[in-house]
Amino acid sequence: MSNADAPPQKPPLIVLVGPTAVGKTELSLQLAERIGGEIVSADSRLLYRGMDIGTAKPTPAERARVPHHLIDVANPDEVWSVARYQDAAYAAIDDIHRRGKVPLLVGGTGQYVWAVVEGWQVPRVPPRPGLREALERWGEALGPEALHARLARLDPEAAARILPSNLRRTVRALEVIFSTGRRFSEQQGKTPPPYRILILGLTRPRPELHTRIDARIDAMLAAGWLDEVRRLLEAGYSPDLPAMSGIGYAELIAYLQGQIPLEEAVHRIQKRTRRFVRRQANWFKADDPRIHWFPAGEDPLTATLPLVANFLRTAA
């Protein structure tokens, strides 16, 4: 077959994953600056306006270095489903390709990353507020684990993919089942996207990561995180919103409402962040052959750049 007859090369997509506080932001900026890239956030917390400090959102100076996408695109009372995120991410990636740039999908929200990389076919069932509210009340009465057990009886495969403690995802699965009369898992498939994909992962020893997490929490508080939470509450955003129940925000709200002392709030944030890191390790497994892992503490730019450059040459 001649070169003229060969099928066109798929455009490249570089993905950078890893746990929170590992150092993804700086490496993504350095890589993007060197390869003519733009960053597509795969962090569910960065979608929301006004939630800057507690989400470790890239600073204005960092966003001036490299164009970013899917940051500050929603108010805290908007709900972004996986399907909505996936559609927006594909649109951003395709726009970056059309302008001759290289997209870097960067983040630690496992659902978002794999929905894009694997091409999840997410059920496009519109929310039914009445049904959802009834399911949420049912979950609050029974407890998240008991509601998850009900889901397991209706759809064992879907239940196996959802943590028993994750009431929001359990409710959504049941909402889809009751709305369609079909198992949630039957409505989920995968159609790989039309990209050549390179996945990079950053890692650090767990004790080192915990030290960085604690230092980052202290820095966030020093930078005005409590004032940020106060402003959100004063703007009328309910503490019950999914965005406001995120790590750190729920704990600081409890402090501001006089339910716990600040020291206890900080302790809870630390513990909850550590649990989140463990969950991220389940999404991004150390033995996943698709992920090229690099130690974050040993000049990751020098380590990753040759692999990225070779990948882009092959894709050209």
Burial degree of 188 (CB within 10 A; 0-12, 13-18, 19+):
middle
Specify the pLDDT at position 122: 81
Q: Decide: 122 and 90 in contact? Cβ < 8 Å.
A: no
* Mean pLDDT taken over the chain: 93
Instruction: Tell me the pLDDT tens digit for each residue of 183-221.
Output: 988 877 889 999 999 999 999 999 999 999 999 999 999
Specify the pLDDT at position 60: 96
Does 29 or 123 have the greater pLDDT score?
A: 29
Confidence category of residue 1, pLDDT binned at 50, 70, 90: very low
The answer on 141 and 25 residing in a single domain is no
The answer on 263 and 158 residing in a single domain is no
Instruction: Tell me the pLDDT tens digit for each residue of 72-114.
Output: 999 999 989 899 999 999 999 999 999 999 999 999 999 999 9
Instruction: Examine the fold and report which residue of 165, 187, 209 is the final residue of a domain before the chain moves on.
Output: 187
CA distances (Å), origin 125, targets 152, 188, 250: 20, 12, 29
Report if residue 1 sits inside a domain: no
Please write down the long-range contacts of 246-250, taking CB distance under 8 Å and 24 or more positions apart.
246/45, 246/51, 246/54, 246/55, 247/54, 247/272, 247/273, 247/276, 248/54, 248/217, 248/220, 248/272, 248/273, 249/51, 249/54
Q: Helix, strand, coil shares of the chain as percentages rounded to 5?
A: 55, 10, 35
Q: Decide: 13 and 49 in contact? Cβ < 8 Å.
A: no
The Cβ of residue 232 has, within 10 Å, a number of other Cβ atoms equal to 24
Number of domains in the chain: 2
By residue count, the chain amounts to: 316
Instruction: Tell me the pLDDT tens digit for each residue of 216-251.
Output: 999 999 999 999 999 999 999 999 999 999 999 999
The answer on 113 and 217 residing in a single domain is yes
φ, ψ of residue 278 in degrees (nearest 5): -65, -40
Report if residue 5 sits inside a domain: no
Among 5-19, 244-258, 276-290, which stretch is predicted with the lowest mean pLDDT?
5-19
The answer on 94 and 79 residing in a single domain is yes
Beta-strand ranges (E) seen in the chain are 12-17, 37-41, 68-69, 102-106, 120-121, 189-190, 196-203, 291-295
Specify the pLDDT at position 168: 84
Report if residue 203 sits inside a domain: yes
The answer on 258 and 163 residing in a single domain is no
The answer on 89 and 137 residing in a single domain is no
**Rounded to whole angstroms, how far apart are CA atoms 250 and 269?**
9
Those residues whose C-beta lies under 8 Å from the C-beta of residue 304, and which sit 6 or more positions away, are 27, 31, 200, 292, 294
Q: Which two tokens stand for residue 134?
A: 């009834």
What percent of the chain has pLDDT above 90?
Answer: 80
Residue 182, domain CATH: 1.10.20.140
The answer on 205 and 141 residing in a single domain is no
Where on the phi/psi map is residue 143: left (φ > 0), alpha (ψ -120 to 50), or beta? left
What percent of the chain has pLDDT above 70?
Answer: 97
Domain range for residue 142? 129-187
**Which neighbouring-strand residues pair with 202?**
294
Looking at residue 48, the DSSP 8-state letter turns out to be: B
